[in-house]
Amino acid sequence: MKWITRERPKIDRIACPWLIKRFVDTEAEIFYAPFDDVLPTAQSLNAIPFDLPGVEYTHYGDECTFDYILRKHKLTDPALHRMAGIVRGADTDRHDLAREASGLWAISAGLAYNITDDQQLLERGMLLYDALYSWATHLQNEKHTQNPIENLLLDVYKKYLKQKSGKTPAWAQELKEIIQDQIDTNLTLSLTEISQSLNVHPTYLSREFSKYFDDLSFGDYIRKLRIEKAMVLLALPQHSLAEIAYLTGFSDQSHFNRTFKKITGKNPSEYRKAAAKK
């Protein structure tokens, strides 16, 4: 059977032909065409169009065409479903869906950049997805550092050398400055928003954040800063507790009270009374 999709593939339009040729239609012929030519060419070739709006084999909701092919053809291989999350994450820029998604995107984008012929790109991509399938089938629990000596060296690095270096990376320093600058004016400050200005992936920031910010997650660190600001405001008589909750970025006074007590051990009103006696 003949199958056709849009030209210049990267993720789904390489992954789907691989899935089709390996598990659905081993004699499949894959064609690529400019967007406007796909449907007319599909009709003339009697080919099945895929990964195109308005056709059967396409995206549905948050899922990719790869997901639809698995469901349509009742493919139950666990390795294929493991791959589906990686493909979906890479194809939709949801790298949080699978830690391998960002790697698949990087390699696929690089292949597409280096290879301008779509059929040649598909040929190379088939090898890529064969390898990914082997990993998903046999090697998910394998690690590169299987050797005990390698693990020992890594432990030494983590417990001694890395601690000794103690150098804060540039992104962490810049991130601290951004937070300090925006904590008072941006009440919806988010790591995803900040990551764009730093040009660092939000998943990486989220994973590495606590190393350089008092062993706290981004959310806990922001709450700590806002409570510290609230402590300063509580020492002043002109603001009510509700106003202080608003000024420090809390959704309501109840949330403010709970967070304040969790961090300081006292209710805001108790803290204010104690501060007034000093």
Question: Could you report the per-residue pLDDT of 246-255, keeping only the tens digit for each?
Answer: 888 877 888 8
Q: Which residues contact 267 (CB under 8 A, 6 or more apart)?
A: 257, 260, 261
Model confidence at 14: pLDDT above 60: yes
> Is 3 within 8 Å of 20 (Cβ atoms)?
yes
DSSP 3: E
The pLDDT value given to residue 127: 96
Structure confidence by residue, pLDDT tens digits, 116-140: 999 999 999 999 999 999 999 998 8
Using alpha carbons, select from 28, 52, 25, 27 the residue that is nearest to residue 38. 52
CATH superfamily of the 165-278 domain: Homeodomain-like (1.10.10.60)
What is the CA angle 37-40-45, rounded to 5? 110
pTM of the model: 0.55
The mean per-residue pLDDT over the stretch 2-13 comes to 97
Q: Is the pLDDT of residue 151 over 70?
A: no
Most confident stretch, 28-32, 205-209, 243-247: 28-32
Q: Give 44-64 pLDDT, tens digit per residue.
A: 999 999 999 999 999 999 899
Domains of the chain by residue range? 2-139, 165-278
